[in-house]
């Protein structure tokens, strides 16, 4: 584990407050400092960065073995983070406390890898993104696979990797990281690699069916297109049994295209000959 001890850590996920991965992550993060859990009250996988506007958010305490485990919110992962940073922090740490009350946000341990284009749909990654936007160093952590996931081992790997990453912040400041852990036994995990996001898309298709009332319904049934992979892509490295660490950012500006468009004649004036 790293040399740096984080004093206050916000922990969340998209699998819901009762998820096994969240319980393991909380235990791991207590080795770094004080943990505050704010998570959805039910599974919110693939909700992306959606937020709740048309209905109120409700918060309830969740207790386990007679002790406070955390707070369940009837909203999305992004809702949970916003509420924790801008409202619950004041209740927990004193009036006026805000995002800066937290030293770190960790989202996970998610069941199933979040790689490539999937990160745009992931509630796990969106929660970390929300923290990063607020200025809190944030990490999303996912584990490859959906069945028989060894969260205990994943937690041990996560603790080691996070410790080293936290140590590195004094020399290399980072604010938003996406980590994926292979489902292989620990002795088959080959190490840690800094990866870039693969950009291969999906093969979109829907099965058309009818409900009991005879109405048409559509069930998403597509899959991932054959991957175009570089050696340092997150998809390739995870398949090769490396823990992947991908630095992300929320500035989606295409700066190369911006430079080109700035040299283009674009105005509000209608040019001659244009219909």
Instruction: Read off the pLDDT of residues 101-129 as tens digits, 9 standing for 90 and up.
Output: 999 999 999 999 999 999 999 999 999 99
| pLDDT above 50 (res 160) | yes
Using 50, 70 and 90 to split pLDDT, how confident is the model at 1?
very low
pTM for this model (two decimals): 0.91
Q: Please give the helix or strand (H or E) that residue 154 lies within, else none.
A: helix 151-168
Q: Would you state the pLDDT for residue 94?
A: 80
| Strands annotated E in the chain | 8-12, 34-40, 59-64, 67-73, 104-111, 138-143, 176-181, 191-194, 202-203, 206-210, 216-220, 223-224, 242-247
* pLDDT single digits (tens) 70-103: 999 999 999 999 999 999 998 888 877 888 899 9
Residue with tokens 């570089």: 230
Pick the CATH number of 8-199+229-262 from 1.20.58.100, 3.10.20.590, 3.40.50.300, 3.40.1210.10: 3.40.1210.10
Vertex 226 angle, CA 109 and 217, to 5°:
75
Q: Would you state the pLDDT for residue 224?
A: 66
* pLDDT single digits (tens) 33-71: 999 999 999 999 999 999 999 999 999 999 999 999 999
Query: Which two structure tokens, joined as six digits, stand for 218?
Result: 């559509």
Question: What is the domain partition of the chain in residue ranges?
Answer: 8-199+229-262
């Amino acid at each position: 584990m790293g040399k740096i001890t984080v004093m206050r850590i916000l922990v969340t996920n998209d699998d819901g407050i009762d998820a096994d991965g969240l319980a393991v992550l909380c235990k791991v993060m207590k080795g770094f400092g004080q943990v505050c859990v704010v998570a959805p009250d039910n599974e919110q996988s693939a909700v992306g960065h959606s937020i709740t506007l048309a209905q109120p958010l409700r918060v309830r305490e969740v207790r386990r073995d007679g002790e406070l485990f955390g707070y369940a919110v009837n909203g999305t992962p992004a809702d949970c983070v916003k509420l924790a940073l801008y409202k619950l922090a004041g209740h927990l740490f004193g009036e006026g406390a805000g995002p800066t009350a937290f030293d770190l946000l960790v989202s996970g341990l998610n069941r199933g890898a979040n790689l490539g284009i999937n990160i745009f749909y992931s509630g796990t990654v969106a929660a970390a993104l929300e923290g990063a936007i607020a200025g809190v160093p944030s990490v999303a952590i996912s584990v490859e696979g959906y069945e028989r996931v060894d969260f205990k081992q994943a937690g041990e790997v996560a603790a080691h990797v996070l410790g080293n990453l936290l140590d590195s912040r004094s020399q290399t400041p980072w604010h938003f990281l996406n980590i994926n852990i292979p489902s292989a036994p620990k002795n088959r995990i080959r190490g840690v690699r800094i990866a870039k996001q693969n950009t291969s898309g999906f093969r979109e298709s829907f099965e058309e069916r009818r409900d009991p009332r005879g109405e048409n319904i559509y069930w998403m049934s597509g899959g991932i297109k054959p991957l175009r992979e570089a050696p340092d892509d997150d998809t390739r490295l995870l398949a090769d049994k490396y823990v992947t660490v991908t630095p992300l950012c929320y500035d989606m500006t295409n700066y190369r295209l911006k430079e080109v468009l700035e040299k283009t004649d674009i105005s509000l004036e209608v040019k001659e000959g244009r219909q």
